[in-house]
């Protein structure tokens, strides 16, 4: 039983990795056309929250990180981002803050402050209490 579940998980992981690969190519083309907000939305869509596979999570993080670092106009980005993306974006911001890399942390801190003004403290608490991590 456990063996069968592990096999299903592995298949799912391969599917997720393939999806992330196509997503990454789509985001590169969006960034070339300066469509930063669409790139971020694409990166956040379909994030592997429920899987246990670290490779999938790391691969998706790399893609989201690329989209986050490309953003210059943060107010404009948050204006056009739908509220349903706030929680998942907050999770990725905390992941970015835990890396310790200075440019990433700086960008994440700026976005964090602006996001809190819009989403409120509930966003942070949902991020802290959710068992589905990124």
Partner 1 sequence: MANSLRLYLACIKNTLEAAMCLQNFPCQEVERHNKPEVELKTSPELLLNPVLICRNEAEKCLIETSINSLRISLKVKQADELENILTKKFLRFLSMRAEAFQVLRRKPVQGYDISFLITNYHCEEMQKQKLIDFIIQFMEARYRERNKRLEGVSEHQRTTRCDRVSETVHVKQHLRYYNVTPHCINHSLFG
Residues in the site for partner 1, rule: CB under 8 A? 94, 97-102, 105-106, 109-110, 112-113, 116, 121-122, 124-125, 127-130, 133
Our CB check for partner 1 shows the closer of 9 and 113 to be 113
Our CB check for partner 1 shows the closer of 18 and 110 to be 110
Our CB check for partner 1 shows the closer of 11 and 106 to be 106
> Minimum Å distance from CB 64 to partner 1?
17
Our CB check for partner 1 shows the closer of 43 and 115 to be 115
Asked whether 93 and 57 are in contact (CB, 8 A), the reply is no
| CA–CA distance, 68 with 2 (Å, rounded to integer) | 38
> Minimum Å distance from CB 133 to partner 1?
6
| CA–CA distance, 3 with 30 (Å, rounded to integer) | 40
> Minimum Å distance from CB 131 to partner 1?
8
What sections of the chain are H helices per DSSP?
Answer: 2-32, 36-44, 54-70, 74-80, 86-97, 102-119, 121-129
Token representation of residue 16: 């997720």
How many other CB atoms are found less than 10 A from the CB of residue 105?
15
| CA–CA distance, 74 with 68 (Å, rounded to integer) | 10
> Minimum Å distance from CB 127 to partner 1?
7
């Amino acid at each position: 039983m456990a063996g069968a579940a592990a096999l299903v998980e592995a298949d799912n992981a391969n599917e997720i990795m393939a999806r992330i690969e196509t997503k990454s190519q789509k985001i590169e083309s969006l960034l070339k056309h300066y469509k930063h907000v669409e790139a971020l939305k694409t990166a956040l869509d379909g994030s592997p929250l429920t899987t246990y596979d670290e490779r999938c999570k790391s691969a998706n993080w790399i893609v989201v990180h690329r989209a986050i670092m490309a953003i210059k106009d943060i107010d404009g980005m948050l204006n056009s981002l739908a509220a349903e993306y706030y929680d998942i974006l907050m999770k990725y911001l905390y992941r970015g803050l835990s890396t310790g890399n200075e440019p990433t942390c700086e960008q994440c801190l700026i976005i964090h402050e602006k996001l809190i003004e819009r989403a409120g403290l509930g966003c942070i608490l949902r991020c802290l209490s959710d068992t589905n991590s990124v």
